[in-house]
Amino acid sequence: MESLLSTDDALRLLRTVFGHSAFRLRQDEVIADLLAGRDAMVLMPTGGGKSLCYQIPAMMRAGVGIVVSPLIALMKDQVDALRQCGVRAACLNSTLDFEEVRSVEAAVNGGRLDLLYVAPERLLQERTLEWLGRQTIALFAIDEAHCVSRWGHDFREEYLQLSVLHERFSSVPRIALTATADQATRREIITRLQLDEANVYVHGCDRPNIRYAISDDENGRERLWRFLQSEHPADAGIVYCLSRKKVEETAEWLRARGRDALPYHAGLSDHTRRRHQERFLREEGVVIVATIAFGMGIDKPDVRFVAHLSLPKSIEAYYQETGRAGRDGLPSSAWMNYGLKEVVIFRQWLAESEADEAYKRVEHQKLEAMIGLCELPTCRRRAIRAYFGEEPGEDCGNCDNCLNPPQTWDGTETARTAMTCVSRTGERFGVNYLVDVLIGKDHARIRDWRHDRLEVFGSGVEHSAPEWRSIFRQLVAQGCLRVDADRFDALRLTDQSFPVLRGERSLTLRRLRRAAPVKKGKSAVAATPFAGTDEALWQALRRTRTALAKEQGVPPYVVFHDTTLRELVRLKPARLADMERIQGVGESKLRKYGEVFLRVVREHMPAERNSG
């Protein structure tokens, strides 16, 4: 009887099946809702523990829990991870052959399944809906629920039709989950999925373990290299680039320098993409260089860094992409370097897009907000929190601006010089030409245009060319200059130029930040490394994990997360009973792997404890 289901039982499952000691955030309240047959809507940051909110009630309630997810590539790993914990799970999607489908259906018909992952297009087939109509359904979980939002970056047509679940299975509780927190999307999810009666759980979007850093260096790739060498010399991570070409080039460049880097973009064959993704998931230390086609549904918990070599088109996109780092809660980096070029490209795309005006206006605002975040001289995390409608809180102490506050200066005079140069040369030249005029460079093109006779010619020698380019980038970012959509890189004045030119408005600019030298020794971000025998034990545990994973054809983290292995190093359990207390060790995994890992720990014990 459902009324007998209690959160005490839920806690028992959390401990024995998943090996966690207590519920996090408000997982227990969400679970209580579903157990009582109520709907819920959960916004939790990536890595917050959304899955357990429906997995546990699906195991407790009568019937099978249906999980709708657009991420077919991810389903197998999710199912594998559940099976490792002894949960009866399966998936239904286009990758299964006829026999496999038959056997999954038979398991559901026989009441032998707790959780079934289904792609939305599959679920919405009349045949599937009819079949489910004859089953006992524990609940529907709609994962990545923001896909229902038309203006979101992951819109899926089929998600709009998911309201059918409410209409056809009105007594089955539903839970919608997403990590995308902005208010408009939230409202859209509620209306479109008819979740008006759902209890809404909103958790701060903050990811305190991620360190944010944004720069606009001219040589992004070199800067990336310094960052990787100093902070993540052997870690797995993702590098995002805007174009396929840049993906290919960057991957090759990193490989030439000795990193295990693989490209990933829509122009590669399915086979190649799959192989690269597999290597990223199943091996240690692989770097994926990708367009944004990569990442949706990458559940790898130990992605230690996400680097952007170009500007994301909105803070939502930036946050979702960087959110793929550090799902396991260990220290991780979100690093980005951008250039004026991408600002230009995005603005041009928008100008030329055939989309309706309302859409363009929203996209434009989102882009401007993203640029604003880049230009910000103060705490990035506070700005992100404020953007998502949260209390911004204190300065975080874990972003570039907190750790190394940028120097600012009154750039009003300089901005005026730059704008005058734009205006006197007729608003038809790009940054490089304008800079040449300002520093008084002698070349034919300038002479041809007779710009060497202008008063501004050579009037900016107090700044170097890179400094001037940084100044122009900032002026564009602040909206005091704009890039002409018709003439690819020509800078033009804007409405906001005039108050500055007339001396009615002053401008604060950032000083060009010199790249930090590569630090020797301990990295600020990397999780505390182990010393001596502990390091040897850590490596041995990782090797054991990889071997066990390989045998079963699953990613290593499905066996144990890094957090569990780190605990093993720290606590060095001697008996199964000690090991059981460690995070991530449930009954099923204890049975399967307990002895193997205990043996590894024993082999690495200092001699005196071995003999004693």
Positions in the binding site for Zn ion (CB under 5 A): 379, 381, 396, 399, 402
Binding to ligand ADP by residue 69, rule CB under 6 A?
no
Among positions 23, 201, 294, 318, the unique one binding ligand ADP when judged by CB under 6 A: 23
Binding to ligand ADP by residue 339, rule CB under 6 A?
no
Select the binding partner of residue 399 from ligand ADP, Zn ion, none (C-beta < 5 to 8 A, by kind).
Zn ion
Binding to ligand ADP by residue 301, rule CB under 6 A?
yes
Q: Residue 212 or residue 593: which is nearer to Zn ion going by CB?
A: 212
Q: Name the residue whose CB lies closest to ligand ADP.
A: 49
- State in angstroms the smallest separation of the CB of 582 from ligand ADP: 11
According to CB under 6 A, which residues from 548 to 567 bind ligand ADP?
A: 561
Binding to ligand ADP by residue 24, rule CB under 6 A?
yes
Phi, psi for 178 (deg, rounded to 5): -160, 160
Q: Which of 311, 289, 303 is nearest to 332 (CA)?
A: 303
Select the binding partner of residue 185 from ligand ADP, Zn ion, none (C-beta < 5 to 8 A, by kind).
none
Q: Residue 340 or residue 383: which is nearer to Zn ion going by CB?
A: 383
Q: Residue 301 or residue 556: which is nearer to ligand ADP going by CB?
A: 301
Select the binding partner of residue 396 from ligand ADP, Zn ion, none (C-beta < 5 to 8 A, by kind).
Zn ion
Q: Residue 70 or residue 331: which is nearer to Zn ion going by CB?
A: 331
Select the binding partner of residue 48 from Zn ion, ligand ADP, none (C-beta < 5 to 8 A, by kind).
ligand ADP
- State in angstroms the smallest separation of the CB of 462 from Zn ion: 32
- State in angstroms the smallest separation of the CB of 193 from ligand ADP: 18
Select the binding partner of residue 23 from Zn ion, ligand ADP, none (C-beta < 5 to 8 A, by kind).
ligand ADP
Q: Residue 363 or residue 562: which is nearer to ligand ADP going by CB?
A: 562
Select the binding partner of residue 301 from ligand ADP, Zn ion, none (C-beta < 5 to 8 A, by kind).
ligand ADP
- State in angstroms the smallest separation of the CB of 347 from Zn ion: 28
Q: Residue 44 or residue 59: which is nearer to ligand ADP going by CB?
A: 44
Give the DSSP letter string of 456-506.
TTTTTTTS-HHHHHHHHHHHHHTTSEEE-SSSTT-EEE-TTHHHHHTTSS-
Identify any residues that bridge with 111 across adjacent strands, giving them in sequence order: none
Question: Which SS3 state, helix, strand or coil, does residue 252 take?
Answer: helix
- State in angstroms the smallest separation of the CB of 394 from Zn ion: 9
Among positions 52, 87, 145, 435, the unique one binding ligand ADP when judged by CB under 6 A: 52
Q: Residue 327 or residue 604: which is nearer to ligand ADP going by CB?
A: 327
Binding to ligand ADP by residue 20, rule CB under 6 A?
yes
Binding to ligand ADP by residue 327, rule CB under 6 A?
yes
Q: Residue 22 or residue 256: which is nearer to ligand ADP going by CB?
A: 22
Residue labelled with tokens 């929190």: 385
The piece of 43-51, 165-173, 268-276, 382-390 that touches ligand ADP (CB under 6 A) is: 43-51
Select the binding partner of residue 379 from Zn ion, ligand ADP, none (C-beta < 5 to 8 A, by kind).
Zn ion
Cα 422 from Cα 437, distance rounded (Å): 10
CB atoms within 10 A of CB 388: 20
What size, in residues, is the chain?
A: 612
The piece of 50-58, 414-422, 529-537, 564-572 that touches ligand ADP (CB under 6 A) is: 50-58
Give the DSSP letter string of 75-124.
HHHHHHHHHHTT--EEEESTTS-HHHHHHHHHHHHTT--SEEEE-HHHHT
Cα 392 from Cα 186, distance rounded (Å): 19
Give CA separation, 448 vs 405, 442, 443, in Å.
44, 11, 9
Give CA separation, 34 vs 196, 203, 229, 473, 546, in Å.
15, 18, 47, 51, 36
- State in angstroms the smallest separation of the CB of 347 from ligand ADP: 33
Q: Residue 146 or residue 259: which is nearer to ligand ADP going by CB?
A: 146
Binding to ligand ADP by residue 203, rule CB under 6 A?
no
Among positions 26, 50, 381, 463, the unique one binding ligand ADP when judged by CB under 6 A: 50
Select the binding partner of residue 561 from ligand ADP, Zn ion, none (C-beta < 5 to 8 A, by kind).
ligand ADP
Q: At what angle do helices 412-424 and 465-477 cross, to 10 degrees?
A: 90
Cβ-contact 151, 124 below 8 angstroms? no
Cβ-contact 321, 312 below 8 angstroms? yes
Q: Residue 434 or residue 585: which is nearer to ligand ADP going by CB?
A: 585
- Size of the residue set binding ligand ADP (CB under 6 A): 16
CB atoms within 10 A of CB 348: 16
- State in angstroms the smallest separation of the CB of 51 from ligand ADP: 3
Binding to ligand ADP by residue 205, rule CB under 6 A?
no
Q: Which of 285, 281, 276 is nearest to 235 (CA)?
A: 285
The piece of 39-47, 161-169, 241-249, 587-595 that touches ligand ADP (CB under 6 A) is: 39-47
Q: Residue 205 or residue 343: which is nearer to ligand ADP going by CB?
A: 205
Q: Residue 300 or residue 510: which is nearer to ligand ADP going by CB?
A: 300
3-state secondary structure 112-168: CCCEEEECHHHHCCHHHHHHHHCCCEEEEEECCHHHHCCCCCCCCHHHHHHHHHHHH
Which residues does 380 contact at the CB level (< 8 Å), separation at least 6? Answer: 212, 214, 373, 396, 399, 400, 401, 402
Binding to ligand ADP by residue 46, rule CB under 6 A?
yes
Cα atoms in the Cβ-side hemisphere of radius 13 Å centred on 582? 27
Cα 319 from Cα 190, distance rounded (Å): 22
Among positions 48, 173, 297, 556, the unique one binding ligand ADP when judged by CB under 6 A: 48
The piece of 46-54, 350-358, 380-388, 532-540 that touches ligand ADP (CB under 6 A) is: 46-54
Structure tokens at 262: 């693989």
Structure tokens at 120: 């939305």
13: exposed, middle or buried (Cβ count in 10 Å: 0-12, 13-18, 19+): buried
Phi, psi for 44 (deg, rounded to 5): -140, 145
Q: Residue 145 or residue 373: which is nearer to ligand ADP going by CB?
A: 145
In 507-570, at which residue ranges do the beta strands (DSSP E only) sit?
Answer: 508-510
Which residues of the shown chain bind ligand ADP in the complex (CB under 6 A)?
Answer: 20, 23-24, 27, 44, 46-52, 301, 327-328, 561
